[in-house]
Each structure stands twice: as structure tokens, then as C-alpha cells.
Structure 1
Amino acid sequence: MDKILLGMAALRFLSASIEFTAAMLMLYFGRVETAFKINAVLAMVGPIVLISVTTLGLVGLAGKVSRWECYLLSPGWDSFFWVYAICRGRN
């Protein structure tokens, strides 16, 4: 099996484990204030995992994707970073 694919899946399993642990901690503490703080930490983890998995995918596709297809991917990346920057600026 491809190492890139295993890396992508491993990062997603790690992300799911973090999300599940956070949900259990929210239930354990049983307070909205604490759950809100836990959720804030998850808000930082999500984009990091997304960028990491996507980067691994692009590395795995390097040489298999034409230059034109790379240009088509660029607006998606740009819009993601633009929205992320706007949301971070509001906090």
C-alpha cells in the first residue's frame, strides 16, 4: 500500500481520536463553559489536519496531475486560506 495513503489515513484516524476524546471530555465535565473551551481547541486542530492531509495528497499526486489541473486546484486553496484569515481576524 502507498505510504502517502497510509499517512493520510493515519492523520484522519488521529483527528477522529482527538474529536472523540474531546466529546468524552465535554460529557465528563458536563459544563457548557468547559465544553466551549474544549471546542475552541478543536477549532485549531481541524485546519491543521485538513492542510496536512491535503498537502500529503498533493505530494502523492505530484507528477500525476497536469499543470492545468494544479491551476484548477489553486482557487480552492486560495479561498480556504482567505476564509481562514477572515475568521481568525474576528477573534
Structure 2
Amino acid sequence: MYKAKIFVNYKPSVLDPKATVIQQTLTRLGQTNVDSVMVGKYFELVLQGNEAAVNEQVAKLCSEMLANVNMETYRYTLEEVEA
């Protein structure tokens, strides 16, 4: 069994209004040393199968469902877990 930890974020060229609001609020609160903010999504999936098959499945799930590949990028890690 493998646990996939998936991170999805906007591409650098896409405006992220939530991140902009968070950064402006931090500045108003006196946190002036924050250079940038990135907002994203995080998923954890536990899958059965061998590493190669799980890796292929997770990549497909990310590109077809979990991320809008026109606007977002994704990355993931796999870690082996006990059943």
C-alpha cells in the first residue's frame, strides 16, 4: 500500500485572489516581512498496488481530476505504508 501526498497550486502566471487578500491582511497586521503567499489544495490517498502502478494512477488522477492543468500545477510524493 502507498500513501500519495498531493499538492496542487496555481501556476505562477495565474492570479490568485485568495493569496493576494491573505498577503494584504498580513501586511495590515504588521507582518511586513512576508514576500509572497501561495494558496493551494492538499490531498492524501491510500492506494493498493505496486509502486509503478500506483505512481501511474496518481499522475492520471491529478491530471484528469484533482488539478485543472490549464491553471494549476501539481506534485506528489508516494510513501509505503503498512496495511
Q: TM-score, normalised by structure 1?
A: 0.24
Q: TM-score, normalised by structure 2?
A: 0.26
